A and B are shown apart, each in its own frame.
Chain A
Amino acid sequence: AQSVTQLGSHVSVSEGALVLLRCNYSSSVPPYLFWYVQYPNQGLQLLLKYTTGATLVKGINGFEAEFKKSETSFHLTKPSAHMSDAAEYFCAVTWGGGKLIFGQGTELSVKP
């Protein structure tokens, strides 16, 4: 079955440090890929997406992600963490048909 794996349910970084959140999918057919962020008691906000074209995708709030087909990965990075980045991050993929498959989520904590 097609699935999405986020490595690490909880990641903690210091303010100003690099943020790296990992996402891998299981399929030989590349999907459309997304990262969403969810702040406490809020809905999901789209950070960035990859559908076709350039494999390095820039999103909002200084985040970016690179699609690596050979590694079936779509890791999310930000060069310098800010306290306001503390939230839950979900990687999601779709192969169409209206079904978005989510990873289990990674909670990002940012220490002052």
Chain B
Amino acid sequence: DTEVTQTPKHLVMGMTNKKSLKCEQHMGHRAMYWYKQKAKKPPELMFVYSYEKLSINESVPSRFSPECPNSSLLNLHLHALQPEDSALYLCASSQDGQETQYFGPGTRLLVL
């Protein structure tokens, strides 16, 4: 089983809202990732968690706040977003930081 699940599938929020994206995997993977993808572009890495610790932050604005409560779960907390943050947000996981990444279906975010 190589399934990564993400909720919600779609999210519309205003610039003053606070919302969270959720990602879950039950493959025993120890590395989890958040990516942002704009239309017709490749995914851009935002954050990497390895063994539940933040290992990479690609200079992401503080209005995006990741959290890894346990080895199966990854959250992305959103606050005071801008319209240009509208995108598809993808979660991925891998056995560790070296191996194949498996992606979830994504959350389509629209910021009004």
Contact = CB atoms under 8 A, between A and B. Distances in A.
B90 A46 contact: no
A57 B2 CA distance: 19
Contacts of B4: 43
Interface string A72-102: 0000000000000000101000101111101
A46 B92 CA distance: 11
B5 to A, nearest CB: 10
B31 A90 contact: no
A96 B100 contact: no
Interface string B1-25: 0101010000000000000000000
A46 B100 contact: yes
B105 A102 contact: no
Contact of B103 (A36, A49, A88, A96): A36
Contacts of B2: 46
Contacts of A107: 40
B48 A42 contact: no
A32 B95 CA distance: 14
A25 interface: no
Interface string B23-60: 00000000101000000111101001010000110000
Given A46-B103, A97-B97, A99-B48, 15 more contacts: A32-B98, A32-B99, A32-B100, A34-B101, A46-B100, A49-B100, A90-B42, A96-B97, A98-B31, A98-B33, A98-B48, A98-B50, A98-B56, A100-B101, A105-B40
Interface of B: 2, 4, 6, 31, 33, 40-43, 45, 48, 50, 55-56, 90, 92, 94, 97-106, 108
